[in-house]
């Protein structure tokens, strides 16, 4: 498993240490809470939790990954028994992973398994990286012989993002780079509307995404569209045509009132229209301290539509 010593996407990137979000062969980058990997473009995230992702193809599960940080011994047998109990009548048997899978996970303690549950079944891996203390469970709901190349590439692309620096967050059609110290606080993926929330000390950051922009902006401006999202902040005049900014800091009395209401004293919302992607992206930042413009600018520049 690649770790922070290897640039993200070194195995499947563009030659400059950057992973291609969607390659010519239809593979897409996924980055979530310290883990990144490549999956076929036809695999869609169906369940997204803090440390768990389930992918489907044609409304059927094809792959899932779960990870956790731990200390001390790696309780592989206990974890596999727990998995078997969660599968009901299914039985889990040991399985020897292919050599290329094991090579991709060099340095890790690896346990391969297979299971059969009613008409479903597949192969999986449970492994632990002693260097980082992270344990990962993979399950492929696929016929191994027919999908060996797909599975091998997914396993080979797995990358543990370093605990320092920036982390990649990439899912569906959005991608962002955020400081590793920012922790996931929540996520909402609704039809046409996404929001991913992060927290770092006194700072709250939300990445927003709205689509289709063409319909959402029909007959109204970006400022009109975003007015209901501003939460009382004032529209800042003089923004670029495809950008709208709201800001609320105000007087000392107003900041005190917001604190008494258990709200952050400073609040900034930026929306920008990306016509070529037919999407509206947004960044909301809240804090009890003044928000440095350079920090907002850096986060915004790292947030793109794919």
- Is the pLDDT at 12 greater than 80? The verdict is no
Tell whether 243 and 141 lie within a shared domain: no
Tell me the whole-structure pTM to 2 decimals: 0.86
Domain contains 10: no
Domain contains 17: no
Tell me: the pLDDT tens digits for 197-218?
999 998 999 999 999 999 999 9
In 3D space, the residue among 249, 253, 210 whose CA is nearest the CA of residue 232 turns out to be: 249
Tell whether 124 and 203 lie within a shared domain: no
Domain contains 129: yes
Tell whether 201 and 107 lie within a shared domain: no
- With cut-offs at 50, 70 and 90, classify the pLDDT of residue 264: low
190-to-56, 194, 209 alpha-carbon distances in Å: 17, 6, 10
Name the strands in the sheet holding 134-140, side by side, starting at the edge strand that comes first in the sequence. 44-49, 52-57, 60-69, 134-140, 120-129, 109-117, 91-94
Structural domain containing residue 190: 179-305
Question: What's the confidence (pLDDT) of residue 128?
Answer: 92
Q: How far apart are CA 40 and CA 151, in angstroms?
A: 10
Say how many residues make up the chain. 306
- Is the pLDDT at 268 greater than 80? The verdict is yes
> Using an 8 Å Cβ cutoff, are 199 and 191 in contact?
no
> Using an 8 Å Cβ cutoff, are 157 and 43 in contact?
no
Tokens matching residue 26: 């239809």
Q: How far apart are CA 30 and CA 161, in angstroms?
A: 12
Tell whether 184 and 263 lie within a shared domain: yes
Domain of 188, CATH number, reads: 3.40.1000
DSSP 37-80: EEEETT-EEEEEETTEEEEEETTEEEEEEEEEE--S---HHHHH
Tell whether 61 and 112 lie within a shared domain: yes
Number of structural domains found in the chain: 2
Tell whether 124 and 97 lie within a shared domain: yes
- Is the pLDDT at 275 greater than 80? The verdict is yes
In 3D space, the residue among 215, 218, 202, 196 whose CA is nearest the CA of residue 283 turns out to be: 196
Question: What's the confidence (pLDDT) of residue 261?
Answer: 52
Tell me: the pLDDT tens digits for 35-92?
999 999 999 999 999 999 999 999 999 999 999 987 767 777 788 888 877 777 778 8
Domain contains 3: no
- Is the pLDDT at 18 greater than 90? The verdict is no
Domain contains 137: yes
Tell me: the pLDDT tens digits for 22-43?
443 599 999 999 999 999 999 9
Q: How far apart are CA 291 and CA 62, in angstroms?
A: 43
Domain contains 9: no
Domain of 133, CATH number, reads: 3.40.1000.10
Mean predicted confidence (pLDDT) in 116-141: 89
Mean pLDDT over the full length of the chain: 86
């Amino acid at each position: 498993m690649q770790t922070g010593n290897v640039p993200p996407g070194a195995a499947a990137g563009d030659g400059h240490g950057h992973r291609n979000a969607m390659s010519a062969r239809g593979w897409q980058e996924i980055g979530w809470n310290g883990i990144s990997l490549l999956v076929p473009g036809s695999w869609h995230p169906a369940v997204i939790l803090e440390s768990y992702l389930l992918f489907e193809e044609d409304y059927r599960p094809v792959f899932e990954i779960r990870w956790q940080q731990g200390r001390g011994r790696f309780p592989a047998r206990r974890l596999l028994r727990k998995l078997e109990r969660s599968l009901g009548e299914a039985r889990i048997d040991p399985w020897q992973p292919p050599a290329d899978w094991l090579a991709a996970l060099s340095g890790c303690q690896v346990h391969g398994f297979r299971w059969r549950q009613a008409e479903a079944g597949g192969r999986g891996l449970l492994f632990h990286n002693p260097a980082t203390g992270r344990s990962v469970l993979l399950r492929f709901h696929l016929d191994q012989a027919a999908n060996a190349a797909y599975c091998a590439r997914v396993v080979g692309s797995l990358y543990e993002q370093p605990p320092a620096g920036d982390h990649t967050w990439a899912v569906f059609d959005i991608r962002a780079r955020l400081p590793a110290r920012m922790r996931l606080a929540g996520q909402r993926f609704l039809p046409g509307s996404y929001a991913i929330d992060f927290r770092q000390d006194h700072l709250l950051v939300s990445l927003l995404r709205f689509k289709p922009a063409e319909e959402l902006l029909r007959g109204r401006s970006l400022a009109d569209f975003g007015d209901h999202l501003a939460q009382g902040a004032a529209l800042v005049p003089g923004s670029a045509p495809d950008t709208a900014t709201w800001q609320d800091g105000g007087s000392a009395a107003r900041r005190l009132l917001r604190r008494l209401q258990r709200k952050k004293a400073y609040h900034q919302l930026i929306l920008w229209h990306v016509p070529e992607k037919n999407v509206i992206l947004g960044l909301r930042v809240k804090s009890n301290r003044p928000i440095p413009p350079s920090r907002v600018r850096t986060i915004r520049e790292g947030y793109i539509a794919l």
